[in-house]
Structure 1
Amino acid sequence: MTQISIPCVFHELTGLYCPGCGITRAVLSLLRLDFAQAFRYNPLIFILLPLYTMYFLTKKKQMRRSSNGIMVVMLTLTLAFGLLRNIPFLDFLAPTIVG
């Protein structure tokens, strides 16, 4: 495993997890085809990836209303995920600790 580590400035300053915390480790796990571990690092990417594909296709086909709606959904999910993963009883949403 590579030892690539990109610290999250938001987490370093606040102690809270941002919606992107764990993304680097998740991508590295995906490159190793370890989907379960990638999901544990950041499950949001498994939701946003298909939505982004739909957004890209609707944007390309100039379906403005649909693409704007998908963008609103992606932004709402990202903000909600960022808030929820910092609530103590929802700590399973926090990225797993590498130790």
Structure 2
Amino acid sequence: MLPCINKQLFGFECPGCGLQRAAALLFKGDFAGAFEMYPAIYPLCFLFVFLFLDVLWKKRNFSGITAGLATISTVFILCNYILKFL
């Protein structure tokens, strides 16, 4: 795994810390472990799927779905980041 430069330089984790490990757990089939490691993994996965579909399938408009998923992902990331410090 790549080390977190933010953690090495400043001594605290960034909002993305845990994403690599969660993706590795997801590929291994440990879905609960991936969620525990980084709760935003699932909204981000759905977001990337719909972004890909938006590029691939121009006749459909997925902008509303992608905007909603981007908002949900941001909320998950920020809540997870705040809960790490509590």
Give TM class, smaller chain. Answer: 0.5 to 0.7
User: Partner amino acid for 1:72?
Assistant: A
Q: Give ranges in structure 1 of 5+ residues lacking alignment.
A: 95-99
Answer yes or no: is the 8 Å Cα contact 1:29–1:37 preserved in 2. yes
Answer 1 or 2: which has greater helix percent: 2
Task: Note closer, same or farther for the CA distance 1:9–1:72 as it changes in structure 2 (3 Å cut).
Answer: farther
Aligned to 2:67: 72
* 1:1-47 CA distance string (max 9 Å, x none): xxxx32223344362441x2211111221232111111111121212
The alignment-based identity, stated in percent, is 31
Looking at structure 1, the residues matched to 70 and 5 of structure 2 have their Cα atoms a distance apart, in angstroms, of: 20
TM-score if structure 1 supplies the norm length?
0.60
2:49 to 53, 66, 72: 53
> 12, 32, 54: which one pairs with 2:28?
32
The verdict on how the C-alpha distance between 1:25 and 1:80 changes in structure 2, with shifts beyond 3 A counting, is: same
Supply the distance in 2 between the matched residues of 1:10 and 1:69 (Cα, whole angstroms). 33
- Cα distance in 1, alignment partners of residues 40 and 4 from structure 2: 16
- Of 4, 7, 12, the match for 1:15: 12
Runs (5+) with no aligned partner, structure 2: none
